Structure 1
Amino acid sequence: MNEQLEFVVRAAAIGTGATAVMDLWGLFLKRAFAIPPLDYAWVGRWIGHFPRGRFAHANIAQAPRIRGETPIGWVAHYAIGIVFAALLMAVWGLDWARHPTLLPALVVGMSTVVAPFFAMQPAFGAGIAASKTPDPNTARLRGLITHLSFGVGCTALRCFPHTCSRSESGGSRSAFRTQPQILKMESKHEIQKLDTADPPLATRLWLAPRPTFRYRAATRVDTLGGNAAEGCPASRDPKKILDQIM
């Protein structure tokens, strides 16, 4: 995988995962503290009015509805998360995405709060940095924590960078491709260890060469009965017969 394609894939994966973590944080606040998250249908409504030339509203909740505003808002929500992840990788490089650390992600997460404070909230009628809301400081703190959760989510996919890691020689190689080779080398090493190790007594006895009892039995029969073809005369002496058998 070349670096351009790797950049796109990682930005999509990290941005999507971080945005999902942010949504889970919002769900936790809703369940635990009854704090409602942002209605992303409002985001879709705001975007849906762009073709009509309207970019700001006195109150987005009272603005005319747009067909499909909810899916538009959710798609835009995750697309913005991917853009923020791409911004993070553009500043700290592709190596950060391969081995993510928390501090750069938190810095970018805090920086992304500029977008809602100075663009989205004024366009929704809430004023700059929620200045027109009943409790601006609480709204600002909540927005900051929410975007910090996005930064934490950027480091949540720590297992993903290993699937596209680059080898030390400079080539791009998947870890899943090299795994069978490693296992094969380990198996070969184990075989060598087994070959050089001292086998147990039972193994040595089993692998030891066995005498050809069939040939000795045939010789005994021929000796007892006499075999002129082999030049073995018949013998009745028990001691000689026992020596031939043993």
Structure 2
Amino acid sequence: MSAIVFDCDGVLADTERDGHLPAFNATFEHFGLPLRWSQERYGELLAIGGGKERLATVFDDVDDLPTDPDERRELVAQWHREKTARYTRMVADGVLPARPGIARIVEEAHAAGWTLAVASTSAEASVRAVLEHAVGPTRARDVAVFAGDVVPAKKPAPDIYLLALHELGLDPDDVVVVEDSSNGLRAALAAGGLTTVVTVSSYTADEDFTGAALVVDSLGDPPAVPTSVLVDPHGVGPLDHVDLTTLTRLLTARKEHL
């Protein structure tokens, strides 16, 4: 059974700069915190997997906050709930359009009987909101979602991908992961060397994608938005879009090299 497992942020939509960052900053303002993350600072924080984990850095940057670990955990939980609510409203309002090719390839895969899933370190409510906006609420019901705190360690740890493989009964040889970051790629590779297509996003274009099966600027929606191939170790290009034929060729290449 062939499967596609998508990351959410940066893959389904380019959410980080135009969604999560303003939602974090609006949350800081709401709680009266004297802190605003710049685009550059947020780019650095993306090396930390998970919104709660990024919020924990606030205690290093803002004075006069509690030092008790339990109080800090409760504050982070409050901040994260507020941030998630603001972010999901932004998604519902259509502020964050789906990235090129997402709706197309999801429809192709569903029609062909492929298993579809999303594996993300973001909060489940946020992930489901982005997914429904990207592919529509009807098709979103056909996509399994693994997100948030369902695993003990977040990307670049492989836990979220290992959970998806286990719960869906997938053979690693039949799975293509679509990621946008080095952390995500490392997580997929650590989960049995999963075949990974990287679609670079706003914050990730300069990251190290060694080990990716294919690196592109997007999955493509030609003729308006064709794909540009950036790294093609298996020679599946030239391409003007990534489709199931492309993914099948990458899975075949994986099996030939085992």
**If the length of structure 2 is used for normalisation, what is the TM-score?**
0.22
**If the length of structure 1 is used for normalisation, what is the TM-score?**
0.22
The structure with the greater share of residues assigned to strand is: 2
The structure with the greater share of residues assigned to helix is: 1
**Which has the greater radius of gyration?**
1
